Structure 1
Amino acid sequence: MNDQSDLLKSLRIDNDERGTAKAARGLGPKQQLLAAATITALAIAGTAAFMGTGSEEAPQATTPASSSTNGSNSAAATEPVAAPAAPSAEPARAVTPAGETVLSASGYITARRMATVAAEITGLLTDVLVEEGMTVEQGTVLAKLDSAIATVDVDRARAQLKAATSRIATVEVNLAEAERVLNRVSKLNIQDFSSEAALTRAKADVDSLKAELVTARADREVAAITVRAAEEQLDNHTVRAPFSGVVTDKNAQPGEMVSPISAGGGFTRTGICTIVDMGSLEIEVDVNEAYINRVSTGQKVTATLDAYPDWDIPAHVVAIIPTANRERATVRVRIGIDTEDARILPEMGVKVAFLKA
């Protein structure tokens, strides 16, 4: 009997897998249910571990290791898998450190002082004394118009002024003589050596000459005003720079007719040249009205020219134009440039970054 038992044990050891299957089939209903639950729990834990290692964003699930071989099945079935932490009730807010960009936009370099200089009168252009790129100071002569007739008018006005001045001198001499006659006639009339008619006539001569003197002085004032007007008209034939700057365009040549107003024929120039004050350059950008709340007056800005993308230009917000463009839904922003450089030119494209205070 013992030999048969030993033989059965040896067979169970050599065929472990088959014996295990037979042993499983020999389990009772409760033991089979426990084994099925153990296998299911192990499958779930393995799947969760595989998914956790395959995705970086998803939280990794962990299963506790069994403390002993005999109790591994029950531990895996009864201990829960660690769950990810519940999200916070408040949404996360992005914090922009000071000095970092809060908004980007693009625009152009513009000049606050730019003028197309024209003559105040219509005339023939005789000289143009500037070229593109020249730097001019305020009052510099830019061009000259034919002033022959204006010069004659000035000479005539000055001659009339001299005549008016001479007439005043003549009247003053006559008035002095008339006053002496009146004084002598008055003395004779007191002594009854002169008639009342002679006295009246002498007084009338004095009064008449006084009135003539007033008229002569007024005529001299008119002549002086005429001289100033003629000189002003002559000066209008010389075109000068209204402010200091750089000539960017030359629009007329000697021999052309120029006029302050546009002519219908198309042969008359209205502008002689264009001057830009390089010290008044600034940046204009259009900001979407949905983001205008990120911009404030005085805010620091970093500008980058399209022509020099590696050059950061310090700037600041000068003003936010208090009106929006209905069609484009944008608000214009003026940005002052904190440095002057010859590389910054009008109408250049520029990109700006508004910085957090």
Structure 2
Amino acid sequence: MNSNTELLKQLKIDKSHKEAPGGRPPWGRIAAIGGIVLVLLAAGVGAWAFLGKRPIEVQAATAVAPASAGDAGAVLQATGYVTARRQATVSAQITGALTEVLIEEGDRVAKGQVLARLDDNALRAGLASAQASAAAAHANVTQNEAQLEQALRDATRQEALVGRGLVSKQIAEQTRTQANTYRAQVNTSRRQAQAADSQVGVAQVNLDYTVVRAPFDGVITDKAAQVGEIVSPLSAGGGFTRTGVGTIVDMDSLEIDVDVNEAYIGRVQPAMAAEAVLDAYPDWHIPAHVIAIVPAADRGKATVKVRVALEQKDARIVPDMGVRVSFLEHRTEARAAAPKGVMVPSSAIVQREGHEVAFVVADEKAHRREVTAAKPVNNDMRLVTAGLAAGDTVITTPPDSVGDGTPVHITQPAP
């Protein structure tokens, strides 16, 4: 009790800080303190706005479709691209201006089908001139043949008169010589007519070159020229001359080229069974087999190219598509279906508010997705049966600061 009384006595009012004269508070000091507070608030708001808009750096991975049970027998996997063994950039065999282009990308064409036409006025005139020259040559042959026939009759008649003593032998010999001369002229005119006919053939071939035709059945994958442009089989005229009209691909010749690390090329054998999965259709497993192992290595990449044949052709398969090939020990007739869902790294799934969630990156922002996931596989991957789709880019080990709509920047490309 006494201690409490002592404490109360020690309480004093410090009057050393007196009010301003007239009992008014020190407004200058209050204004200064208020200004400092406002500056601090403004700086805090600015820092919050800057940091709130600054993207958070994260690492990411791509959700992929799970492998099927049939992949269990794979001795090796490799990636590559769909290629066409037969494709051609079609061009004209002469230089000329295009008057018609009859193709568009995606058109199916048959062998011999007209793809384009060039201006042929000059060549048609040349063909007409050659035909006229050939006609004149043949007319000359006819004239010489007529003269030869007359000369032969005259020679026969003169020889008969010589036998009867009515004309001299010299006259009969001159008539025979004249007939032989006409015979030589006939042979010469016939050769000239043949040459004229050959010129007509050349002019016709050049005229045919103004029509560009498909060399084989296929699909147009590129239209390289338009009406009015000049095309040439050579790159003459710089950038103003096209060297091709379009590109045609024989879709029946599609196959796969994969690069196999040379350390594992011994596992691949010719005619070996394989299975191909296109990146665009991860749930579609295409039977395949090895065509050949190209006997050359890439020194820079330490790989060997392997050609793989597709045993099923489909319109969805187009050149330059990415593909993953599994080389199999043996082909299984009955293959268990792949589990539904996608595979993602285990670190991409975190607990938020009692739910398992993953963050998908789209438009440089994180989007929260509640997921249904199975137990981890190989302590690294998890099967997500709901909430994600194949091809989604998910953040691995998302920090607590990442939420729905948070701007993010991927520092590690998604595999």
Q: Same fold (TM over 0.5)?
A: yes
- Tell me how far 1:101 sits from its aligned partner: 0.3
Question: Hey, what's the Cα distance between the residues in 2 that align with 1:140 and 1:279?
Answer: 18
> Could you tell me the TM-score, scaled by structure 2's length?
0.62
- More displaced stretch, 164-173 vs 119-128: 164-173
Higher strand share: 2
Is there any run of 5+ residues in structure 2 with no aligned partner, and where? 1-69, 331-415
2:206 aligned with 1:233, yes or no?
yes
Q: Which amino acid is 1:106 matched to? A: T
- Tell me how far 1:186 sits from its aligned partner: 0.5
User: CA deviation digits over 1:172-224, x for unaligned, max 9?
Assistant: 11111101110111111122211122112101111101101111111111111
Retained in 2: the 8 A contact 1:252–1:273?
Answer: yes
1:103 to 66, 76, 81: 76
- 1:221 match: secondary structure: helix
- Tell me how far 1:98 sits from its aligned partner: 11
What is the aligned-residue identity percentage? 49
Partner of 1:113: 86
Partner of 1:314: 287
Partner of 2:41: none
- Deviation above 6 Å: which 4+ runs of structure 1? none
- 1:290 match: secondary structure: coil
> Could you tell me the TM-score, scaled by structure 1's length?
0.71
- Tell me how far 1:265 sits from its aligned partner: 2.8
Question: Hey, what's the Cα distance between the residues in 1 that align with 2:168 and 2:237?
Answer: 76
Q: Which amino acid is 1:247 matched to? A: I
Partner of 1:183: 156
Q: Which aligned pairs between 1:1-357 and structure 2 lie closer than 5 A?
A: 100-357=73-330
**Cα-Cα RMSD:** 1.4
Question: Hey, what's the Cα distance between the residues in 1 that align with 2:238 and 2:126?
Answer: 29
Q: Which amino acid is 1:239 matched to? A: V
Retained in 2: the 8 A contact 1:98–1:356?
Answer: no
Is there any run of 5+ residues in structure 1 with no aligned partner, and where? 1-96
Q: Which amino acid is 2:209 matched to? A: N
- More displaced stretch, 306-315 vs 194-203: 194-203
User: CA deviation digits over 1:244-279, x for unaligned, max 9?
Assistant: 100011110001111111125311111110111100
Higher helix share: 1
Question: Hey, what's the Cα distance between the residues in 2 that align with 1:268 and 1:197?
Answer: 71
* Count of aligned residue pairs for this structure pair: 261
Question: Hey, what's the Cα distance between the residues in 2 that align with 1:187 and 1:139?
Answer: 64
Retained in 2: the 8 A contact 1:111–1:277?
Answer: yes
